[in-house]
């Protein structure tokens, strides 16, 4: 059975949502700590809304036995939005719930003082960081995108806690973590960290952030324009979609370059195609770093990359 702890839904809609969650629980469709997103029909003006829901168990460090773990209280948290686009932010919302589980004591007496304010700020805290970063950086966003793609270390100075967290989340969301080989990312991080003089420094002491040692390229500038153009509508889901498209295009370019390099190992004309691709894609500086790390243990491919580096320098 479900006991309501807190809601800001009208009574009728709350009953409908409770019925929806009960059916999911009966089917065993709610997994511990892993949220899902579905479209739900409720008696509110929007009629159909997107619902993120997640089940989790209260942790109690004093509970040492398996039996007491089984009897620990379980909770389901639901966040409602205008559409199923909440799925775009499912990982952020999972993390938001994880923080709730770790940091908050869900005893009844703390519901109003701790849990309710935390739950009510879910949209601002989990969904809006990318939008706030776009609005803060405007045309300087290209340097942030460049740092995220190249895994350049970023140092934020004189920023309030929320702004610092927003920038960190944006960099994590814009990076290719999980999309390229883990070993490549580790090697890139090490290589870029060793080049400390190339760390991007962001000073937030003034009304606009000041960037030092900022890098950029045509690829990041083109995508920055897409973000700035999208800022007029102020839709956080649009910004996230642009960010996903940005990463998808970067991955496509990396895969194309790797294919050209394989061909160039046996064909001088393909080597020239590699060079033209790097010159025209707008992100040759970053792509070369990534493939150099990936092909470090492959002599023939490494030779091709070395020749390409010389071409690009000239």
Per-residue pLDDT tens digits for 171-185: 999 998 766 666 666
Residue 89 near residue 240, CB atoms below 8 Å: yes
Q: Is residue 28 part of a domain?
A: yes
Tokens of 199: 């760390």
- From residue 252, alpha-carbon distances to 124, 128, 246, 288, 304 in Å are 32, 27, 10, 14, 20
d(C-alpha 33, C-alpha 30), whole Å: 9
The DSSP letter of residue 4 is: -
Domain match, 279 and 156 both: yes
- Tell me how many degrees the CA angle 169-75-117 measures, rounded to the nearest 5: 55
Does residue 122 belong to any structural domain of this protein? no
Does 126 fall in a domain?
A: no
Question: Does residue 143 sit in the same domain as residue 281?
Answer: yes
Residue at 130 is within a domain: no
Residue-averaged pLDDT of the chain? 84
Sequence-distant (≥ 6) Cβ neighbours of residue 234 within 8 angstroms:
131
SS3 of 45-56: the string is CCCEEEEEEEEE
Structure confidence at residue 252 (pLDDT): 94
- Based on the fold, state whether residues 64 and 164 are members of the same structural domain: no
Mean pLDDT of 50-59: 85
Q: What residue numbers bound the domain in which 170 lies? A: 135-313
Total structural domains in the chain?
A: 2
Could you tell me if residue 127 is inside a domain? Answer: no
The residues with which 74 forms a beta bridge, in sequence order, are 57
* Whole-number pLDDT of residue 84: 57
pLDDT over 70 percentage in the chain:
84
In whole angstroms, give the CA distance from residue 206 to residue 136. 11
Q: Position of tokens 């398996």? A: 66
């Amino acid at each position: 059975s479900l006991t309501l702890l807190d809601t800001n839904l009208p009574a009728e809609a709350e009953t409908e949502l409770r019925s929806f969650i009960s059916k999911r629980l009966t089917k065993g469709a709610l997994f511990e700590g892993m949220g899902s997103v579905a479209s739900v029909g409720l008696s509110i003006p929007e009629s159909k809304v997107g619902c993120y829901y997640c089940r989790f168990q209260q942790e109690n460090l004093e509970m040492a036995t398996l039996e007491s773990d089984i009897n620990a209280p379980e909770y389901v948290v639901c966040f409602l939005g205008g559409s199923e686009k909440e799925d775009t932010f499912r990982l952020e919302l999972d993390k938001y719930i994880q923080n709730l589980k770790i940091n908050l004591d869900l005893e009844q007496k703390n519901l109003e003082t701790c849990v309710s304010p935390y739950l009510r700020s879910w949209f601002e805290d989990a969904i809006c960081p990318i939008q706030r970063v776009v609005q803060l950086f405007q045309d300087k966003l290209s340097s942030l995108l460049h740092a995220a793609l190249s895994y350049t270390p970023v140092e934020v100075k004189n920023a309030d806690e929320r702004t610092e967290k927003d920038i960190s989340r944006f960099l994590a969301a814009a990076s290719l973590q999980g999309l390229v080989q883990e070993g490549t990312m580790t090697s890139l991080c090490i290589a870029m960290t060793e080049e400390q003089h190339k760390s991007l420094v962001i000073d937030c002491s003034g009304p606009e952030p000041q960037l030092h040692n900022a890098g950029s390229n045509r690829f990041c500038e083109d995508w920055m324009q897409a973000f700035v153009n999208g800022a007029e509508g102020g839709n956080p889901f649009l910004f996230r979609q642009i960010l996903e498209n940005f990463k998808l295009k970067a991955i496509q370019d990396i895969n194309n370059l790797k294919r050209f390099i394989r061909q160039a190992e046996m064909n001088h004309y393909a080597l020239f195609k590699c060079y033209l691709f790097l010159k025209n894609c707008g992100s040759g500086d970053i792509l070369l770093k990534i493939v150099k790390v990936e092909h470090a243990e492959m002599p023939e491919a490494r030779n091709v990359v070395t020749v390409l580096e010389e071409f690009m320098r000239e």
